Amino acid sequence: MSTEIALFEESFISPQVQAALPEGYTVRPLRANDYERGFLKVLEVLTEVGNQTKEQWLERFNYLKQHNHEYFTIAICNDRENRVVAAGTIFVERKFVHNNGLVGHIEDIAVDANQQGKKLGLRIIEALKYIGAKKGCYKVILDCSAKNIPFYEKCGFTQKEYEMAWYV
Ligand code: ACO
């Protein structure tokens, strides 16, 4: 597989979000060689990531690509430095309820610690909402900590329900 392979079609990327980004930043589907552009490093603001080898990274990337009707991971790149600076995923779940409805789940929103506060997080969410709407989801949901509630409210979300977790 060529290293410049994109996870999914460029047509799922919102032109409005691209236009709203600061100059020198690009929003696009995750690419196979974002391993070298620091994608996993960006995720470290979220939690422990691990020390995946390139081979392990490609194994996961290839799985997501084979399921790219369900998995949409996007990246914002700083073009001059050729680095990933922000990322996020929307996963499209297929339900029976709501007439075989689709629900979008937003996961793993991360902005590099040095790049926070430039509205890149907001743009990632807007871009993921665009994908959810384009796929026909009737709602898009996510889990977050209490301290991030104001951020998601600024992104147009409202608080509903509670998260439950069980760790193996
Ligand atoms: N509390 C209050 N307001 C906030 C917060 C916060 N914690 N974070 C951002 N905002 C506000 C900003 O002030 C801004 O408001 P404005 O429009 O009035 O100026 C607006 O929200 C948009 O902020 P951005 O600049 O887009 O935020 P940023 O690019 O820093 O991204 C994020 C926010 C994603 C939370 C980032 O700080 C980050 O990566 N944090 C660490 C990882 C994390 O917590 N990720 C989310 C996990 S939940 C999930 O993945 C579903």
Ligand 1 binding residues, C-beta < 6 A? 45-46, 106-111, 116-122, 142-144, 147-148, 150-151, 154
| pTM, rounded to two decimals | 0.97
- Tens digit of pLDDT at every position of the chain (168 positions): 456 899 999 999 999 999 999 999 999 999 999 999 999 999 999 999 999 999 999 999 999 999 999 999 999 999 999 999 999 999 999 999 999 999 999 999 999 999 999 999 999 999 999 999 999 999 999 999 999 999 999 999 999 999 999 999
* C-alpha distances out from residue 66 to 58, 115, 135, Å: 12, 31, 17
Helix (H, G, I), strand (E, B), or coil: what is residue 96? coil
Q: Which residues contact 117 (CB under 8 A, 6 or more apart)?
A: none
For strand 139-141 and strand 102-111, is the pairing parallel, antiparallel, or unpaired?
parallel
ipTM above 0.90, yes or no: yes
